[in-house]
Amino acid sequence: MDSIVVVGGSPLGGTIEINGAKNAALPIQCAALLTDTPTTLRHVPLLSDVYTMSSLLEGLGCVVEGDRVMTIDPRGVASGALEAPYELVKTMRASVTVMGPLLARYGRARVSLPGGCAIGARPIDQHLRGFEALGADIKLERGYVELRAERLKGTTFAFDLVTVGGTQNVMMAATLAKGTTRLENVAREPEVEELARILNKMGARIHGAGSPVIEIEGVDNLAGVDHAILPDRIECGTFMVGAAITGSDITLRHAPVDDMHAVIEVMREAGVRFEVTPAGLRVIGPEALRPIDVTTRPHPGFPTDMQAQIMVMATMAHGQSLITETIFENRFMHVPELCRMGADIVVQGNAAVVRGPTHYSGAEVMATDLRASASLILAGLIAEGRTEVRRVYHLDRGYETIETRLQSIGADVQRYHGARG
């Protein structure tokens, strides 16, 4: 298992290009299952989760070629088993987003239940309720979901809670249903809007993505398209925190500023300065950071995927900050590792009280989940001495060669292959 070693203290400067969004690429790869002809995706991030999804699509009978520019030909799927196996689904929960397309296009699917993950139980009850509302027959047996439907029928369905994957899965299923579907209490994330954009390019008739209600008029078939994936707002926010805590001045090319108001607002309150320039979003870290009070919410609120990273910024603020996590039940696993490096963070239920500024000292730390790993790398940038982050396969799921991108703006970061686990 690889590890990444950071030696803190280097001032950062220069420009980083923001890659395509992981959380847009994954559902869009699934959308390619809905069409009768190949789809080409551009600006695809080179991430292990994307490769896992490609393997899943190939297992279903797709021909997947390329990486940064990826072509997915679904024409071999009809004769396949239409099954997403446990060994793939357990490594990547987003695999369940093949359900909607397979059910809509082929009338059946057999998908392993994802099981929980490090940050929570992460059930898919809302996905399945949505499919049932569209007329699907659902059976759970031996850890798999068996889905069947002659042809899905348009309906009105309200989610009990806001779910990004649930919204995407049921929206995709409804594109080929007979009649119109109205989905209420849906997720409004930019990645939901991006999925609706590509589906409409494929011939779907979706209105209202990005608002609390989405209307989908069912059509008979969809065609493959050529689509460039939008930039990753969470990767962008992660580098923004890097500039904030090191007092650096960096520029982020292709930063999706319009999707990041909540994050930018919190960082502005802490004293970070932003300037939109022709080269990209310029981020200037202050001499001294001010404390923050942040609660994670569904979009357009502060994103849970930025919670671990903004906590590192809070540890450097002069004073006491409060960070409250409302989306996942166990998303503070970065806290014990940050405390081992010197942070003063006390977790009380779903809230963390953070006191700063912190004099971080480098340590050997263990990555536990994707965004927790990113927060340890960030802390390493400002720690005295050497920080070794182990099990960085978690990091590689959502950040493309983060070490080379940080090196390009002056950070002292190295990857060691095959280090001890």
| CA-angle at 390, arms to 384 and 391, nearest 5° | 150
Give me the least distance between CB of 226 and ligand EPZ, in Å please: 23
Interacting span for ligand EPZ (CB under 6 A) from 125-133, 273-281, 282-290, 384-392: 125-133
What DSSP state is assigned to residue 368? -
Among 364, 374, 340, 375, which Cα is nearest to 421's? 364
Exactly one of 62, 117, 236, 339 is catalytic; which is it?
Answer: 117
Please identify which residue in 88, 103, 145, 164 interacts with ligand EPZ, judged by CB under 6 A: 164
Report if residue 163 touches ligand EPZ, rule: CB under 6 A.
yes
**Tokens (6 digits) for 298:** 């569904």
- Out of 74, 154, 166, 356, the only residue in the binding site for ligand EPZ (CB under 6 A) is 166
CB of 357 to ligand EPZ, least distance (A): 27
DSSP assignment of 372-385? HHHHHHHHHHHSBS
Instruction: Give min distance, CB of 322 to ligand EPZ, in A.
Output: 20
Distance CA 206, CA 209 (A): 7
Chosen residue from 38, 100, 154, 165 binding ligand EPZ by CB under 6 A: 165
- Is 279 among the residues that bind ligand EPZ (CB under 6 A)? no
Instruction: State the binding string over 189-228 for ligand EPZ (x if CB under 6 A, else -).
Output: --x-------------------------------------
3-state secondary structure of 155: coil
DSSP string, 19-55: PBPHHHHHHHHHHGGGBSS-EEEES----HHHHHHHH
What is the size of the binding site for ligand EPZ (CB under 6 A)? Answer: 27
Answer for the pair 62, 77: CB distance below 8 angstroms, yes or no: yes
Q: Candidates 58, 125, 150, 293: give the one binding ligand EPZ (CB under 6 A).
A: 125
339: enclosing H helix or E strand = helix 334-340
Residue 295 region by backbone torsions, left for phi larger than 0, else alpha for psi between -120 and 50, else beta? beta
Beta-carbon neighbour count of residue 418 at 10 Å?
8
Site string for ligand EPZ, 12-51 (x = CB under 6 A): ----------xx--x-------------------------
- Beta-strand pair 205-207/180-184: unpaired
- For 291, which DSSP code? P
Smallest gap from Cβ 212 to ligand EPZ, in A, equals 14
Q: List the one residue out of 81, 89, 96, 106 whose CA is nearest residue 130.
A: 96
Question: Site residues for ligand EPZ, window 133-162 (CB under 6 A)?
Answer: 161
Determine contact, residues 235/19, Cβ cutoff 8 Å.
Answer: yes
Q: Which is nearer to ligand EPZ, 29 or 251 (CB)?
A: 29
By CB atoms closer than 10 A (0-12, 13-18, 19+), residue 364 is middle
**123 sits near ligand EPZ (criterion: CB under 6 A):** yes
User: Which parts of 320-379 interact with ligand EPZ (CB under 6 A)?
Assistant: 327-328, 370-371
Cis peptide, bond prior to residue 231, ω within 30 of zero = no
Cα separation, 292 vs 314, in Å, equals: 7
CA distance 249 to 244: 8
The 59-98 site mask, x for binding ligand EPZ (CB under 6 A), equals ----------------------------------xx----
- Residue number of the CB atom closest to ligand EPZ: 165
Closer residue to ligand EPZ, CB minimum distance, 275 or 329: 329
Question: Among 3-11, 122-130, 149-157, 412-420, which window interacts with ligand EPZ (CB under 6 A)?
Answer: 122-130
C-alpha 400/C-alpha 232 separation (Å) is 11
Q: How far is the CB of 320 from ligand EPZ (least distance, A)?
A: 26
339 tagged catalytic: no
Out of 12, 16, 124, 174, point to the residue binding ligand EPZ (CB under 6 A).
124
Q: Is 9 in the site for ligand EPZ (CB under 6 A)?
A: no
Distance of closest approach, residue 166 Cβ to ligand EPZ, in angstroms? 5
* Residue positions annotated with a catalytic role: 117
Residues that bind ligand EPZ (CB under 6 A): 22-23, 26, 93-94, 120-127, 161, 163-166, 187, 191, 304-305, 327-328, 370-371, 398
